[in-house]
C-alpha cells in the first residue's frame, strides 16, 4: 500500500514540555547572579533564552535536516475521522514530525495500527497510553 504524509485536522494548542537538567553549582550561581541583577526574570527565562540562541545558531542545519528527512515542522494532529479517511482510502501513514505529533483521544489502538505504518517524532508525541503502547514497534527516532 502506498504511504502518505498529510496535514490533517485543526491543530491542538501546543503545551510546553518539562525538562530536568543537572547543572554545576558554579554555573547555577552565575545564573542566580544574572537573575538577581535583573538580566533575566528567573532561571527558566535565562535557560529558555540560551536554548533559543543555540537553536538560532543552528537553524540552517535544522532546516536542512528537516528537508532531507521530509519532516513536518511544527504540530501535526490526527483524529479518528482523519485516520478513518486514510483507512477508507486503503492507505497507511508514515508520520514524521519535528515538534508535536498529537493523536486524539478518540483514536483506538486498533485504528492506529490499521492506519499508521510508522511514526517518527523529534519532540513530543501526545497520545493515549494504549495508543502509544500499540505503536511502540512502529515508533522510531529520526
Domain annotation covers residue 6: no
Same structural domain, 75 and 115: yes
3-state secondary structure of 79: coil
65 and 126 both lie in a single domain:
yes
Q: Does some domain include residue 32?
A: yes
Contacts of 142 (CB under 8 A, 6+ apart): 65, 69, 71, 96, 98, 120, 121, 122
Chain segment 90-111, per-residue pLDDT in tens = 989 999 999 999 999 999 999 9
61: cell is 542545519
In a domain, 106, yes or no: yes
Domain tally, the chain? 2
The answer to whether residue 14 sits within a structural domain is no
pLDDT reported for residue 14:
67
- Looking at residue 61, its pLDDT comes to 87
CA distances from 117 to 106, 135, 138 (A): 19, 9, 7
Distance CA 78, CA 18 (A): 23
The per-residue pLDDT for range 26-80, each reduced to its tens digit, is 999 999 999 999 999 999 999 999 999 999 999 988 887 766 666 888 999 999 9
Asked whether residue 19 is domain-assigned, the answer is: no
Amino acid at each position: 500500500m502506498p504511504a502518505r504524509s498529510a496535514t490533517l485536522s485543526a491543530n491542538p494548542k501546543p503545551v510546553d514540555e518539562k525538562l530536568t537538567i543537572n547543572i554545576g553549582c558554579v554555573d547555577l550561581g552565575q545564573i542566580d547572579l544574572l537573575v538577581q541583577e535583573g538580566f533575566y526574570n528567573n532561571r527558566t527565562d535565562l535557560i529558555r533564552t540560551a536554548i533559543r540562541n543555540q537553536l538560532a545558531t543552528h537553524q540552517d542545519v535544522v532546516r536542512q535536516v528537516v528537508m532531507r528527512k521530509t519532516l513536518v515542522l511544527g504540530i501535526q494532529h490526527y483524529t479518528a475521522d482523519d485516520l478513518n479517511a486514510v483507512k477508507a482510502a486503503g492507505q497507511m501513514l508514515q508520520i514524521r514530525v519535528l515538534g508535536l505529533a498529537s493523536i486524539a483521544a478518540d483514536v483506538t489502538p486498533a485504528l492506529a495500527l490499521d492506519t499508521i505504518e510508522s511514526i517518527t517524532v523529534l519532540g513530543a508525541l501526545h497520545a493515549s497510553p494504549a495508543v502509544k503502547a500499540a505503536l511502540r514497534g512502529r515508533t522510531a527516532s529520526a
